[in-house]
Structure 1
Amino acid sequence: MKEQKVKLWTGQFVTIVLTTFIFFLCLMSLTAGFPVFETALTGSSSKGGFMTTFFMLGAILTRPFIGVLVHKIDIKVTMLFTLTFVIVTLFLSIGRESFTLLVIIRIFQGVSFGIITTLLATVATQILPQKRFGEGIGYFGMATSLGTSLAPMLALTLIHATSFNGLLLVTIGFAIICFIGSFFVRDTHAMTAIDSHQIKGSLVSYMFDKKAFLPTFLVMLFYITFGGIVNFIDGLGHEAHIEDHISSFFLVTAIAMIVIRPFSGRIFDRLGHKFLILPAAVFGLIGLFLLSITESTLLLVVAAGFYGLAYGVIQPTLQAWAVSRVSADKKGTANAMTLSCMDLGMAIGAASLGTVADKMNFHKMFGASSVLIVLLIVIYAIYTFGRARKAHMQAQEEAV
């Protein structure tokens, strides 16, 4: 008798995926828009960069704590309260020009981003059927990646077509949609509650789990390169005299992610991460190399395709790997670590690769960033082959 396929696309999962996509589109649009607005207002690119730095800092510092508290709180109520706060901060941003006030607003928005994204990721990992876990995480990861990759294109388009306040009004609309979507999230307090006798170790141990360290560290390495792309692809366009077509990079990247995600998720469920990470990393390496020599729109599009395939596989696969390595009561911790490393990678990429670009140029900067992919490949290969060798030796000892 043929085994019945476990249902993946439940109403709850659809709600989580759509809410995640819209929320990432909302706040990541501001991550691209605030630096443009502040730089134009003050003439200081460093002040523009602070808009992203403080946002990421707020998210990074929040996630370890929410990763622990997610097991003790009512997720629906927390989401509704936090999204209300986000909407208030968006309204407060309209027409404001004070650098200090905007920095404070960005910190609060970063804290909210850290809370909401961790809650959504935790609910997603808890409601997914185990037999289709990798596939489900792939689709969830696609929501985060699409929101992140399409947001800069949306932000720049709206700012140029209307104004920064126009962008803020659109993001307020997105936040309201997410608020409405939160009403359809099940009350997950009972589902996430952990009895006190189940929790072993200190509070700090629930902020960090060493079992999730390797995949989350690799996520950070990859996102440093993505941080370089989000912040400096426009500079590359001007340098290569293809600035009118630079937004096509994000569009092609998004298409590549949509194409690859369903396949990569199924491969993870059947064969594991070892058949995904290395090929995807090679694609990312090719994409960055092509960017380093890009002088035409065609080469830009090809580079976007390769990098999009890498992005579409690496982030969700490493997240699924991190979550699968920890115990049930540490899923929130693993998700928080993954998302924090994504934010940390983007923050490091914006700062460090910007310095490289100042000393060299944007083409050479993208070439230099490919070293991070090489490092990712080396670390993962050492781990994988080391595990294989250990398993082989154990098998030989048992045979004797």
Structure 2
Amino acid sequence: MHASPSQSTLWNKNFLMVIIANLFVYQGFQMLIPTLPVYIKDIGGSDLQAGLVVSLFALSGLVFRSITGKATDTIGRKPMLVLGFIVLILFNLSFFAFSMVGILVILRLFQGAGWGMTSTAIATIMSDNVPDERRGEGTGYYALSVIIATSVAPIIGIAILNHYPFKIILMVTTVFMLIGFLLTQGIAIPKLEKQAKPRQKQTREESIWSDLFEKRAILPSVLCLLLAFPFGGLMSFIALFGNEIGIENIWVYFIGHCLMILISRPFMGKLFDHKGHISVVLPGAVAMLAGLLILSYTTTIPVLIVASLFYGFGFGAVQPSLQAWAINRSASDRKGVANGTFLSAMDLGVALGSLLLSSVAALTSYAAMYRLSALCMVLFIAIYGIYLLNNRKTHSRLENQKHVTIQ
């Protein structure tokens, strides 16, 4: 097992290096999400193929996240981190050599494997360096690096694509990924210590399931999937949505999105640690629902900014809180599997959102697509509400039993 950080320490050298490295890696990754679908359509691809380059990437990432989660807990963090970076960067460079839609879709599928390994290993290294009692705050700052990249990278990517060939984007993304890799080499990652641990006998099916998924992380992961479904459609097609409604400077959306996250995220993480997930997740989910609905009726930049503020606040509050909740619910020697389970759900949601919502947009419009995707947040709130009610009933029943026993 990896040694836990001291109880009060959060901003040590390792944690800071993880945050900065993660920012560069996600910056390179996120620049491709809104620009690659546009490039695919520019070279003759369909809406479905534009969605496939995002969804297949996320699906292959999902598969390798599950494998990597177990591997980081058994083989070690560093081997999976290095292997993931090699695959991720090599396939990014391979895009220079091809311009056929079918080949690009296949290359993107393989690149997803590298992304699954890299991002899961980094998330697990982050978990190793966050004290348990500051899980919400630490995971929040880690997620902030993801969200900043998610917000800023599309602005840079779309701006570059508006003035330069797509190969310039490939050059920039490759540089960002390489910087991220070099920074991770400065992180002290202890080797895993083998511990003899008695295990209950499991069937083959139970063993395979436990190797790939952490059951204690399932509920937060399912909620994350519902959150990621509209997020996949939002990020993948925001540039095309701007073309539809006649707003050329659609990148303004990401400024409001990023600004609200920067303002809200630090205190939302502390609120999670002191008051629990209900104080953060429920209001955040309602804000995301409002943001999607406002976005779907947007025709002007002021309304676009309002939509970005609502959605940015909600996403910044909910996504990292769900990840911290998933880790807190899991055993300390299952951090890698818990992160793999959670991030796999994120990938699956993005993949399904990109693929299925592209079909909705082709049949209707991007505005209608965003309106329909808001139903995912309605389902999110319903499932979370049912969990809270059941949890309250269970707690009340245990309190009553305790009271009877005392009498």
- Provide the residue aligned with 2:374 in structure 1: 370
- Provide the residue aligned with 1:398 in structure 2: 402
1:58-97 correspondence runs (5 A)? 58-97=60-99
- Provide the residue aligned with 2:190 in structure 1: 188
| Residues 74, 246 of structure 1: alpha-carbon distance in 2 compared, 3 angstrom cutoff | same
| Residues 388, 43 of structure 1: alpha-carbon distance in 2 compared, 3 angstrom cutoff | closer
- Provide the residue aligned with 2:173 in structure 1: 171
| Residues 157, 126 of structure 1: alpha-carbon distance in 2 compared, 3 angstrom cutoff | same
- Counterpart Cα distance in 2 of 1:93 and 1:108: 12
1:286 aligns with 2:300: no
| Residues 294, 124 of structure 1: alpha-carbon distance in 2 compared, 3 angstrom cutoff | same
1:108-257 correspondence runs (5 A)? 108-190=110-192, 193-195=193-195, 197=197, 200=200, 201=202, 202-241=207-246, 243-257=247-261
- Provide the residue aligned with 1:42 in structure 2: 44
| Residues 399, 63 of structure 1: alpha-carbon distance in 2 compared, 3 angstrom cutoff | same
Q: Is the 8 A contact 1:54 1:106 kept in 2?
A: yes
Q: Is the 8 A contact 1:17 1:143 kept in 2?
A: yes
Deviations 1:10-37 (A, max 9, x none): 1100110111111111122223332222
- Counterpart Cα distance in 2 of 1:299 and 1:87: 38
| Residues 293, 194 of structure 1: alpha-carbon distance in 2 compared, 3 angstrom cutoff | farther
- Counterpart Cα distance in 2 of 1:167 and 1:335: 29
- Counterpart Cα distance in 1 of 2:55 and 2:241: 22
TM-score scaled by structure 2? 0.92
- 1:269 corresponds to which of 273, 280, 284: 273
Deviations 1:62-85 (A, max 9, x none): 111111110122423432343233
- Counterpart Cα distance in 1 of 2:243 and 2:167: 26
- Provide the residue aligned with 2:3 in structure 1: none
Share of identical aligned residues, percent? Answer: 31
- Counterpart Cα distance in 1 of 2:297 and 2:35: 28
Report the AA paired with residue 195 of structure 1.
Q
Report the AA paired with residue 236 of structure 2.
N
Deviations 1:119-160 (A, max 9, x none): 011111111012211100001111122222332222221222
- Counterpart Cα distance in 2 of 1:390 and 1:398: 12
Report the AA paired with residue 197 of structure 2.
H
- 2:330 corresponds to which of 322, 326, 329: 326
1:329-348 correspondence runs (5 A)? 329-348=333-352
- Counterpart Cα distance in 2 of 1:101 and 1:239: 28
- Counterpart Cα distance in 2 of 1:261 and 1:222: 17
Deviations 1:162-185 (A, max 9, x none): 211101111121122112112112
- Counterpart Cα distance in 2 of 1:177 and 1:158: 20
Q: Is the 8 A contact 2:55 2:350 kept in 1?
A: no
Segment drifting more, 261-270 vs 157-166: 157-166
Structure 2 gaps of 5+ residues are: 1-5
- Counterpart Cα distance in 1 of 2:393 and 2:229: 31
SS in 2 for 1:195: coil
| Residues 292, 90 of structure 1: alpha-carbon distance in 2 compared, 3 angstrom cutoff | closer
Q: Is the 8 A contact 2:47 2:358 kept in 1?
A: no
| Residues 105, 318 of structure 1: alpha-carbon distance in 2 compared, 3 angstrom cutoff | same
Cα shift at 1:196: 5.1
Q: Is the 8 A contact 1:285 1:370 kept in 2?
A: yes
- Provide the residue aligned with 2:104 in structure 1: 102
| Residues 22, 237 of structure 1: alpha-carbon distance in 2 compared, 3 angstrom cutoff | same
Q: Is the 8 A contact 1:76 1:186 kept in 2?
A: no
Q: Is the 8 A contact 2:92 2:174 kept in 1?
A: yes
Cα shift at 1:95: 4.0
Q: Is the 8 A contact 2:52 2:354 kept in 1?
A: no
Cα shift at 1:393: 2.1
Q: Is the 8 A contact 1:206 1:330 kept in 2?
A: no
- Counterpart Cα distance in 2 of 1:171 and 1:250: 18
| Residues 245, 372 of structure 1: alpha-carbon distance in 2 compared, 3 angstrom cutoff | same
Cα shift at 1:43: 4.0
| Residues 199, 161 of structure 1: alpha-carbon distance in 2 compared, 3 angstrom cutoff | farther
- Counterpart Cα distance in 2 of 1:234 and 1:91: 24
Q: How many residues align?
A: 394
| Residues 145, 185 of structure 1: alpha-carbon distance in 2 compared, 3 angstrom cutoff | same
- 2:299 corresponds to which of 262, 271, 295: 295
TM-score scaled by structure 1? 0.93
Cα shift at 1:297: 0.8
- 2:23 corresponds to which of 18, 21, 24: 21
Q: Is the 8 A contact 1:13 1:127 kept in 2?
A: yes
Deviations 1:343-382 (A, max 9, x none): 1111111122222223332223222222111111111111
Report the AA paired with residue 197 of structure 1.
K
